[in-house]
């Protein structure tokens, strides 16, 4: 099969950014009400989750330093629900992969899964909270605020969700997910209100990232301002998030999927596929066919979201560890997304099947895009019709001449040649 030539396209939207992340973290904590809420000698739990956050280790270290400046004794507590296979070892490994380690930060890292029931929400369901956080003198969170992959509401991914599900550990995650979308959109804020009322939660550091996945906004949100302020920050995050610049594609090729790129493995906000039982699909972008080639090693075998793709490789399916894969998806109760797609022995065969089934039989007219993952979208490679369209779109620029799609002798797509600055290339 003849593959279309590819042209590199770069997105250059005007975006906010923070040049000195550590300095801004310290400034935010220093200017907050934390000084009135924390006393010298207090044991302060710093909740850190499993979401991929740019500069996470820098942000966490600066938070710990700010707490030490107040005379507190900080420690890290894992706040990631059932991720990491729902085990202390799995959650410790995820934090270590982000540079959140005892030997580097000089504080204890607590990943035990034990919870306590601290109350009951208005649904009549128990509210669970991490035992280590409950026993601390104060709790602060480090949370990225962004549109959620599963639902729309006033509070999506952020501080509220970390309080109810992240710090709820496996018990809290299962409690809310068993209700489906209602449990996240409607019950989650209700449980978080119980937690704010009954716990020693003091404040959360909100992290927003721009379309280049750079730290764009850092703001400490006090517990008393949480409900209105997080909602406002969510809308700001939605406005600056990375997106595909085209409303319609015949075929999208994704180099890697994984939990380090999106909680859903493939970000539905990027590809326009929600795939939630009984929920309406997104209107844009409209993509006829999606190929996913690899699972990131940072996912530790959790292939959640592989079913958002239509076609994949034998290599990706072989990388899935059934233990965390089943644990995460059965806890989340969203099963459509992780049905296994058709797989092929090579990348070339997978992409050929995508081209053959994308409902565009004219090779010259195929609207094809290649991205490294659904997190890093500043640069993408596109077929000639999209390259021509890009020339007419503000904020887009073409880089260099068209070139053939590069494959190795084993017919694997040479992803690091296409994206020399992506996570995969930096890992190599």
Whether the pLDDT of residue 178 is over 80: the answer is yes
Q: Tokens in use for 393?
A: 């779109």
The answer as to whether 155 is a domain residue is: yes
Q: What is the pLDDT of residue 50?
A: 83
The answer on pLDDT for 313 being more than 90 is: yes
Instruction: Look at residue 14 and tell me if it is in a domain.
Output: no
Instruction: Mention every residue, 6+ apart, whose C-beta is less than 8 A from residue 327.
Output: 82, 85, 86
Domain count, the chain: 2
Q: What is the pLDDT of residue 149?
A: 84
CA 224 vs CA 29, 34, 230, 285: distances in Å: 16, 12, 11, 38
- 419 token code pair: 């994206």
- Least confident range of 5-19, 26-40, 128-142, 284-298: 5-19
Same-domain check for residues 188 and 306: no
- Whether residues 190 and 288 share a domain: the answer is no
Q: Two tokens at 271?
A: 């590809």
Asked, for residue 13, whether it belongs to a domain, the answer is no
418: Cβ contacts below 8 Å, ≥ 6 apart: 6, 8, 255, 370, 372, 381, 406
Residue 176 belongs to some domain of the structure = yes
Same domain, 36 and 127: yes
Amino acid 216: pLDDT: 94
Span 406-414, mean pLDDT? 98
Q: Is residue 408 part of a domain?
A: yes
Q: How many CB atoms lie within 10 A of CB 107?
A: 20
- Among residues 182, 208, 240, which one ends one of the domains? 240
Q: Provide the 3-class DSSP secondary structure of residue 4.
A: coil
| Cα–chain center distance at 334 | 17
- pLDDT at position 278, please? 87
pLDDT tier at 52, thresholds 50, 70, 90 = confident
For residues 182 and 203, membership in a common domain is answered with yes
CATH code of residue 60? 3.40.50.11440
- Return the ∠ at Cα 88 (arms to 84 and 91), rounded to 5°: 35
Residues 236 and 265 in one domain: no
12 lies in some domain: no
- pTM here is 0.82
**Beta-bridge partners for 109:** 76
According to the model, what pLDDT value does residue 222 have? 97
Strands 138-144 and 311-313: unpaired
CA distance 150 to 142: 21
Same domain, 76 and 179: yes
What mean pLDDT is predicted for residues 24-46? 96
Considering the domain architecture, whether residues 275 and 405 belong to the same structural domain is answered as yes
Averaged pLDDT, 61-72: 98
**287, β-bridge pairs:** 249
Q: Which among 29, 80, 2 has a CA at the least distance from the CA of 364? A: 2
- No. of H helices and E strands in the chain? 18, 16
pLDDT tens digit sequence for 332-389: 888 999 999 999 999 999 999 999 999 999 999 999 999 999 999 999 999 999 999 9
Q: What is the pLDDT of residue 28?
A: 98
**222, 240, 258: which is the final residue of a domain?**
240
273 and 193 together in one domain: no
pLDDT at 391 over 90: yes
What is the separation of C-alpha 371 from the centre of its chain, rounded to a whole number of angstroms?
Answer: 16
Confidence at residue 126, expressed as pLDDT on a 0 to 100 scale: 96
Q: Are 301 and 258 in contact (CB under 8 A)?
A: no
Are residues 301 and 191 located together in one domain of the fold? Answer: no
Give the pLDDT band (50/70/90) at residue 428: confident
In a domain, 273, yes or no: yes
Confidence of residue 2 (pLDDT cuts 50, 70, 90): confident
Distances (CA, A) of 394 to 12, 13, 364, 370, 397: 9, 8, 24, 20, 8
Q: Which residues sit opposite 208 in a β-bridge?
A: 217
CB 184 within 8 A of CB 160: no
* Distance, CA of 45 to CA of 270 (rounded, Å): 33
Bridge partners (DSSP) of residue 73 are 43
Average pLDDT, the chain: 95
User: Is 233 found in the same domain as 196?
Assistant: yes
Reply yes or no on whether the pLDDT at 61 is more than 90. Answer: yes
In the predicted structure, residue 168 carries a pLDDT above the cut 80: yes
Structural domain span for residue 411: 243-427
Q: Judge whether residue 395 has pLDDT over 80.
A: yes
Same domain, 200 and 276: no
User: CB–CB of 15/211 below 8 Å?
Assistant: yes
Q: Give the whole-angstrom CA distance, residue 107 versus residue 294.
A: 35
Which of these three, 224, 240, 256, is where a domain ends? 240
Q: Quote the CA–CA distance of 108 and 74 in Å, as a whole number.
A: 8
Residues 160 and 258 in one domain: no
- Residue 82's SS3 state is coil
Mean pLDDT of 189-211: 96
Residue 61 inside a domain? The answer is: yes
Provide the pLDDT for residue 22.
Answer: 98
pLDDT at 62 over 90: yes
Give every CB contact of residue 259 below 8 A, 6+ residues apart in sequence: 50, 52, 83, 265, 296, 298, 299, 300, 302, 304
For position 114, what pLDDT does the model report? 97
Q: Given this model, what pLDDT does residue 220 score? A: 98
- Interatomic CA distance for residues 18 and 9, integer angstroms: 25
Examine the pLDDT at 13 and tell me if it is beyond 80: no
């Amino acid at each position: 099969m003849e593959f279309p030539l590819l042209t590199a396209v770069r997105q250059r939207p005007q975006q906010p950014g923070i040049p000195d992340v550590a300095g801004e973290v310290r400034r935010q904590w220093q200017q907050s009400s934390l000084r009135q809420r924390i006393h010298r000698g207090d044991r302060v739990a710093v909740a850190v989750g499993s979401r991929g956050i740019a500069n996470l280790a820098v942000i966490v270290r600066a938070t710990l330093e700010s707490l030490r400046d107040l005379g507190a004794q900080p420690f890290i507590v894992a706040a990631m629900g059932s991720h990491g296979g729902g085990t202390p070892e799995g959650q410790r490994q995820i934090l270590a992969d982000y540079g959140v380690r005892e030997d580097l930060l000089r504080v204890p890292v607590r990943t035990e899964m034990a919870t306590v029931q601290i109350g009951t929400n208005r649904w009549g369901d128990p509210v669970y909270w991490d035992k280590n956080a409950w026993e601390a003198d104060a709790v602060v969170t480090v949370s990225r605020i962004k549109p959620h992959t599963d639902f729309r509401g006033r509070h999506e991914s952020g501080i509220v969700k970390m309080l109810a599900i992240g710090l709820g550990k496996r018990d809290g995650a299962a409690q809310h997910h068993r209700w489906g979308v209602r449990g996240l959109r409607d019950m989650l804020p209700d449980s978080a209100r119980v937690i704010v009322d009954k716990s020693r939660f003091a404040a959360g550091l909100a992290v927003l990232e721009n379309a280049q996945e750079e730290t764009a906004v850092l703001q400490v949100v006090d517990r008393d301002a949480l409900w209105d302020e997080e909602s406002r920050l969510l809308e700001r995050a939605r406005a600056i998030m990375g997106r595909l610049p085209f409303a319609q594609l015949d075929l999208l090729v994704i180099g890697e999927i994984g939990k380090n790129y999106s909680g859903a493995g493939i970000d539905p906000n990027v590809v326009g596929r929600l795939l939630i039982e009984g929920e309406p699909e997104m209107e844009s972008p409209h993509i006829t066919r999606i190929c996913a080639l690899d699972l990131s090693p940072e996912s530790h075998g959790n292939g959640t979201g592989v079913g958002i793709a239509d076609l994949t490789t034998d290599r990706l399916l072989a990388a899935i560890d059934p233990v965390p894969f089943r644990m995460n998806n059965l806890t989340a109760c969203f099963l459509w997304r992780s049905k296994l797609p058709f797989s092929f022995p090579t990348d070339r065969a997978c992409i050929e099947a995508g081209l053959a089934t994308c409902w565009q039989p004219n090779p010259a007219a195929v609207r094809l895009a290649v991205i490294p993952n659904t997190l890093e979208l500043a640069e993408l490679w596109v077929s000639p019709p999209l390259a021509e369209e890009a020339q007419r779109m503000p904020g887009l620029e073409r880089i260099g001449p068209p070139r053939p799609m590069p494959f190795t002798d084993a017919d694997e797509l040479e992803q690091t040649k296409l994206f020399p600055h992506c996570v995969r290339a930096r890992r190599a």
